[in-house]
Amino acid sequence: MFRLFLATTALALPLAAHATEKADVLTNYANIAEAKYGDSLATAQTLQTAVEALIAEPSAEALQAAKTAWLAARVPYQQTEVYRFGNAIVDDWEGKVNAWPLDEGLIDYVDASYGGPSDENPAAALNVIANPSFTLGGAEVDANEITPELLSDTLHEADEVEANVATGYHAIEFLLWGQDLNGHGYGPGSRPWTDYAQGDDCTGDNCDRRAAYLKAATDLLVSDLEWMAAQWAEGGDARAALMEDESAGISAILTGMGSLSYGEQAGERMRLGLMLNDPEEEHDCFADNTHNSHFFDGLGIRNVYLGRYVGTDGSVTEGASVSDLVAAADAELDAELRGKLDATVLALGEIKTAAEAGFSYDMMLEAGNAKGEALVMGGVNALVDQTRSIEKAVSVLGLDAIEFEGSDSLDDPDAVFQ
């Protein structure tokens, strides 16, 4: 189909290098989503197996294996984040799996320095694992049995407080690593494996309930990812919604790229943490995996623009891209945007490299740490810079007019906000 199309346009329009159809771009974008969420599901299932092994036979090795599986699961998932902000179905769902930041005292024991209930969140130190029944948002809750339904329907965002994160990657991260009490010093959380030991070896109390919580949260993550992967498969709702209106679909792609680059990653996740010098203001704070979380977000933005994704098993999903569309309209702008996306990946790569060599992200956030600030700001500036070119791409592709038809595009932050 594509080749045939190329042949005919080559005859009709000898000056155009190649003409790309929007429908092909959308199909490839949906294929990449299907591949990314599929990889996220597969790696979460590996995590699930590791968690079950940890619970069945707790040991230091089993805990480490679960941590390793969690880290691997983040690689494809973070690359899907660029599907947020433009696709309502992803936005409505995303909070279940990747909500952050969280008041972890809701879930389990915390250090005394954590404090108690706050103005914003009366349940900040509820500790569900230690309490089989409690009052939450005025209602009596029976948490004798910890089930996926208890987590998703009763605890998650309880009392309409977003920091009550009871499910998803970060809840699991906390249950595997524990609080990072090193402040700006090196090292992640150091939860002992004996927090899962049964009988007299149990530390931190309520090891059975902790294990039940971890299992429920992991099972829920797998079922949530199963659902999302299905939405992007042939005949899925996310794919169908994207295809409804071709221009709105292209706009959704660019909206996701721009919003993730600017307001979310450069702003909320990176610059704010730096300004507050708060070591808890890092996205994967328990595991000290923030450098990867940022890096794979940046990579995800780039692979959506280029229309090419390399999966966790090396399989490649590729095809017509927004880059092709922009190049046809303004080759110079396409080159500019490609260059900026590369620069961002490189800048985020520098943070990742330094972190992996021992200069972890929370150390970079310390007040007066000029080298850390320079690294983080290198990422922020690159993300802000690429946003400018994304805005130009929106304009070059003539997508502005979409807003007049009431589509949720760049111009409806209200929709994005919710």
The piece of 126-134, 156-164, 177-185, 344-352 that touches other proteins (CB under 8 A) is 156-164
Residue 283 CA to residue 304 CA, distance in Å, equals 22
Residue 44 CA to residue 38 CA, distance in Å, equals 10
Residue 263 touches other proteins, criterion: CB under 8 A? yes
Residue 250 touches other proteins, criterion: CB under 8 A? no
Q: Which of 387, 389, 393, 397 binds other proteins (CB under 8 A)?
A: 387
Residue 210 CA to residue 232 CA, distance in Å, equals 34
Collapsed DSSP state (helix, strand, coil) of residue 317: strand
Q: Which of 1, 11, 235, 417 binds other proteins (CB under 8 A)?
A: 417
Closest to 320 in 3D by CA, of 331, 312, 328: 328
241's tokens: 């919604």
* Binding track over 90-109 against other proteins, x by CB under 8 A: -----------x--------
- Considering only residues 115 through 144, tell me which ones interact with other proteins, judged by CB under 8 A: 118-120, 137
Instruction: Considering the complex, state which of residue 21 and residue 159 has its C-beta at the smaller distance from other proteins.
Output: 159
* Burial class for 350, CB neighbours closer than 10 Å (0-12, 13-18, 19+): middle
184's tokens: 């700006």
Residue 112 touches other proteins, criterion: CB under 8 A? no
Instruction: Report in angstroms how near the CB of residue 378 gets to other proteins at its nearest.
Output: 16
Closest to 37 in 3D by CA, of 97, 102, 100, 101: 97
Residue 356 touches other proteins, criterion: CB under 8 A? no
Q: Which of 157, 159, 208, 330 binds other proteins (CB under 8 A)?
A: 159
- CA distances to 21, 114, 185, 257 from 55, rounded to whole Å, are 51, 27, 31, 39
Alpha carbons within 13 angstroms on the beta-carbon side of residue 338 total 16
Residue 411 touches other proteins, criterion: CB under 8 A? yes
Residue 261 touches other proteins, criterion: CB under 8 A? yes
Q: Which of 132, 204, 267, 319 binds other proteins (CB under 8 A)?
A: 267
Phi, psi angle pair for 309, to nearest 5°: -125, 130
Residue 395 touches other proteins, criterion: CB under 8 A? yes
Asked if 250 and 322 touch (Cβ cutoff 8 Å), the reply is yes
Largest interatomic CA distance in the chain: 80
Instruction: Considering the complex, state which of residue 116 and residue 192 has its C-beta at the smaller distance from other proteins.
Output: 116
Instruction: Report in angstroms how near the CB of residue 88 gets to other proteins at its nearest.
Output: 13
Q: Which residues of the shown chain bind other proteins in the complex (CB under 8 A)?
A: 85, 101, 118-120, 137, 159-160, 162-163, 258-265, 267-269, 271-272, 275-278, 280, 367-368, 387, 390-391, 394-395, 400-401, 403-405, 410-411, 413-414, 416-417
